[in-house]
Chain A
Amino acid sequence: MAEVKPAARPLSPHLQIYRWSWTMAMSVAHRVTGTGLYLGTVLIAAWLVAAASGPAAFDTAQAIAGSLLGRLVLFLYSFSLIHHMVGGLRHFVWDMGKGYEPETRMNMAKFTLVASVSLTVLVWIVALVLR
């Protein structure tokens, strides 16, 4: 007796099916950076609590933040913050019912990457010059 198998129904295609496009990449990046910022708040909270705990704890936190790994994390965090912020500006445009044309969407997606990389580098230059 052959078993009756349910017919293979079509599934909704997931991320790996599609050809990557700028809009798709920036949409994924918005989620990834958002998740990174979410997890990174642990570090911000820990740093603030260290500052509130006294000089010894604060110096330890500063030493960790100033280490090579610490600076890498800080760089990625600042990039995530700025990328999520610039990406959010696109959502404001869309919320107002504008910017849905194919060319505009692509240009805004590209702008998101260019602007967030430039702004991150600018912020780090300012921070390093001022210290």
Chain B
Amino acid sequence: MLSNSSMRTPLGRVRGLGSAKSGTGHFWLQRVTAVSNLILTIIFIGIVIALVGRPYPAAVALLSNPLVAILMLLFILSACIHMRLGMQVIIEDYVQSEGAKVLAVMANTFFAIAIGAASVYAVLKLSFGG
């Protein structure tokens, strides 16, 4: 327990956000998306196996099935959030100069959003009839 001589204010202790001001948000979202990735990745591998060797019309038919499309969208969303958080940790560990670090973390966010947007667009276009 914190003693009364703690330098932290009672409000700071209640907020529980620590010195980085973001608390355990990053850590927790990484774990939540890890759980969803576990389920969705198994489904994704199944979808890819089902697509192997299919000609174009059959592949499109499978990807445009509503259930398959929704699961693909969830997989893309979950994976992009998870990979953005993971790469941010790697950047913060290895990029030492503050400027380069900020730029790299920003570029990481752009990358994750661009990959997510392109993939979501493609799945929606396929499932709404090409």
Contacts and interface: CB of A to CB of B under 8 A. Distances in A.
Q: Classify chain B's interface size.
A: 20 to 34
B115 A35 contact: no
Contacts, number: 74
Nearest to B60: A51
A70 interface: no
A91 B38 CA distance: 12
A37 interface: yes
B44 to A, nearest CB: 8
A51 B47 CA distance: 14
B38 A88 contact: yes
A42 interface: yes
B119 A35 contact: no
B52 A59 contact: no
Contacts of A92: 31, 34-35
Interface in A27-72: 31, 34-35, 37-38, 41-42, 44-45, 48-49, 51-52, 54-55, 58-59
Nearest to A56: B56
A85 B63 contact: no
B49 interface: yes
A1 B32 CA distance: 62
A3 interface: no
Nearest to A59: B56
Contacts of A48: 118-119, 122-123, 126
B77 interface: no
Interface string B38-60: 10010001001110110010011
